[in-house]
Amino acid sequence: MQRAPVLSASCGPCPIRWGIRVAEAPRSAPPPLIVHVIHRLDVGGMENGLVNLLNRMPTEAYRHAIICMTDYTDFSQRLQRDDVHLYSLHKREGKDLGVHLGLWRLLRQLRPAIVHTRNLATLEAQVTAAAAGIQVRVHGEHGWDVGDTDGSNPRNRRLRRWVRPLVSQYIALSRHQMGYLEEQIGVAHARLNQVCNGVDTARFRPSPAGADRRAPLPAGFAAADTLTIGAVMRMQPVKAPLELARAFLLLRDSVPAMFPRLRLVLVGDGPLRQTATEILTAAGVAEQVWLPGARDDVPELMRAVDLFVVPSLAEGICNTILEAMATGLPVIATDVGGNPDLVQPGATGNLVPAGKPEALTEAMAGVLSDDAQRQRMGRAARARAEREFSLEAMVQGYLQVYYKALGSAAGAS
């Protein structure tokens, strides 16, 4: 996909840049425009879900624009549609009232049929959208804020309750978030919709028979008889990479005979990557671990591992769990957020308490020690991903919410 030309303009105190991908010739009655407001378009589960949605949304249904409160990166090149407009508002750290003036002016210019905000970082944009005269406003809850892993922060709860009357329809990815919005925030059940993320089961798939699935790993890192534990995450506290590092080290005492055959592949970047590397190196297992940072070949790397682990302290619907399931991997995950919606204990993997490295170690040892169970769980995970978490089902879920929101607004008018 060609990189769009980038233009610059000034919007009062808030500079805006936008990338415009050349659209088809204008039609007399173009489809309604949906503006998706996010904090930043960069590598991440929510962002990946947005890109997957827009790439597969019927072109005749809606037009789309993405407004980034901060900016977007080369991750935007994963957008396969040429008619998606990208805008950056360059929000400053902390409170930045000027950015809302810029957002208001841009919304007045675009006049979308729907404004769709995502997560707490853009919830205030619901107020700006209402002030700009946008009647249909959708908000999605995809996960928890890094500093508020269960939604209990009083300030964040007050903000959600204050903005609640302005939101036409909510989208929650997990049953946990549905319950939180209804019970803690007071959202009426009629305005709640659960739409789970989908996974590209063609891109994330098991290795074909006879393929050298270890090829993406460093030369000499994993022999034919090794068992590799994999994880893909942002290296930040809520994702708990250090818990996984400690759990891996505990395997040395838990399964001493097997431990020399074990490998850990921890993919992703962030503030805790260096600390995780130092912990593992100091423990003398540097030759058994690989922390390559952020990678573009995640599907290939997933096919190179035998067990996938998610040690997070909080989650919405974890895209990497879905991707691992589609790859045919058993998944050990913490019993938080939307993880129980995805992992079926004893069938496709197991759930463990968050923040308990010993429990994580025990669960990993059990699956790694039983080849037949591991393969059975992997097959069941792939079958469930194909059956229940397709991208087509996700697209249909969003289309229904947009249709419902527009219909409610028309009825109110």
Q: Tens of pLDDT along 273-320?
A: 999 999 999 999 999 999 999 998 999 999 999 999 999 998 888 999
User: Helix or strand or coil: residue 250?
Assistant: helix
The CATH number of the domain where 95 resides is what?
A: 3.40.50.2000
Task: Tell me the three state secondary structure of residue 219.
Answer: coil
d(CA 350, CA 309): 10
Per-residue pLDDT, 13 = 40
Nearest Cα to Cα of residue 159 among 128, 177, 185, 135: 185
Residue 77 CA to residue 73 CA, distance in Å, equals 8
- Give CA 244 to chain center in angstroms: 20
Residue 173 falls within a domain, yes or no?
yes
Same domain, residue pair 131 and 175: yes
Would you say 117 and 148 are in contact if contact means Cβ atoms under 8 Å apart?
no
Please give the pLDDT value at position 413: 53
Look at residue 209 and tell me if it is in a domain: no
Predicted local confidence at residue 20, as pLDDT? 44
Half-sphere exposure of 367 (CA within 13 A, CB side): 30
Q: Do 29 and 102 belong together in one domain? A: yes
Q: Are residues 168 and 186 in the same domain?
A: yes
Residue 148 has a pLDDT of 77
Overall domain count for the chain: 2
Residue 206 lies in a domain: no
Do 297 and 402 reside in the same domain of the chain? no
pLDDT digits (tens, 9 = 90+) for 122-131: 999 999 999 9
pLDDT attached to residue 32: 95
Q: Which strands, in side-by-side order, build the sheet including 331-334?
A: 289-293, 262-267, 227-232, 307-310, 331-334, 349-352
Report pTM: 0.81
Domain check: are 162 and 258 in the same one? no
Measured CA to CA, the distance from residue 203 to residue 283 in angstroms comes to: 36
- pLDDT < 50 regions, the chain: 1-15, 20-23, 25
Domain extent, residue 257, equals 227-388
